[in-house]
Amino acid sequence: MELPRYHRLRPTFYRLEASRCTACGQIHFPPRDLCLTCGSAANQPLQLSGRGRIVSFTRLWQPARGFHDLAGGVTALVELQEGINVTAQLTDVNPERVAVGQEVEMVVRRLLSDAERGPIVYGYKFRPVLKTHQAVEAS
């Protein structure tokens, strides 16, 4: 990936930074200057939680150039807690045990397989929620 382009993508790729329309409350990821719902230009940055559930998924056998590590892996449409969707790779997952409705959380991983040319591109992926000690005790 080109250096300036990667540089611009860091807030969304590393931190899942979104925007929220202050006129109608619509959240956008990636952030927008103009609200898709009401057209208002009054959009403020919003940090997403990174938690969501799987809406749909596919197991990818023919990856694009530079993504050969994704062969056999899973791409998903995730509905975030904030009510918006994001398309992303899943990671740390057994592809045969992925299910619609599964709870997932955002992690930062290497996106591109080929790191020789251009920068190492880091960005968001989703994995099944890792249990925390508190969560275990609560159940």
Partner 1 sequence: MGRASGRLLRTTQPVGISSYGAYIPLWRIRTDAIAACWGTERRRVPIRAKAVPGPDEDTTTMSIEAARNALRRVSVPPAEIRAVWVGTESKPYAVKPSSTVVAEALGLTPYVSAADMEFACKAGSEAMQAAIAYVGSGMARYALAIGMDTAQSRPGDSLEYTAGTGGAAFLFGSAADSAAQVEASLSFVTDTPDFFRHAHQHYPQHGQRFTGEMAYFYHSLNATRTLLAELGRTPADYRWAVFHQPNPKFVQRLAKQLGFTQDQIQPGFLVPLIGNTYAGSSLLGLAAVLDVAEPGDRILFTSYGSGAGSDALSLVVTARILDCRDGVPRVRDYIERKQEISDYGLYLRLMRKIHRE
Partner 2 sequence: MRSVSIIGIGQTPVAEHWNRSLRDLAVEATLAAIRDAGVERIDALFVGNMASGLLCQQENIAALIADYAGLRGIEAIKVEAACASGGAVVRAAHLAVASGAHEVVVAVGVEKMTDVGIDGVTSALATAADADYEAAQGVTFTALNALLMRLYMERHGYRRADFAPFVVAAHENARANPNAMFREPVTVEDFLESPLVAEPISILDSAPICDGAAAVVLCPTERAREFTQRPVRILASATATDTIALAPRKDPLWFDAAYASAHRAYQQANLSPADVDFFELHDAFTIVSALSLEAACFAERGQGVRFALDCNIHRGGKLPVCTQGGLKARGHPVGASGTYQIVEAAQQLRGEAGENQLRDCHVAMAQSIGGMASVAVTHILGV
Q: What is the spatial distance between Cα 9 and Cα 123, in angstroms, rounded to a whole number? A: 9
4, 43, 51, 8: which is closest to 27 by C-alpha? 43
Find the shortest distance in angstroms from Cβ 131 to partner 2.
26
57, 17, 21, 58: which is closest to 39 by C-alpha? 21
Per CB under 8 A, contacts with partner 1 among 67-96 are: 68-69, 89, 91-92, 94
Asked whether position 6 contacts partner 1 by CB under 8 A, the answer is: no
Find the shortest distance in angstroms from Cβ 134 to partner 1.
4
Asked whether position 132 contacts partner 1 by CB under 8 A, the answer is: yes
Find the shortest distance in angstroms from Cβ 128 to partner 2.
18
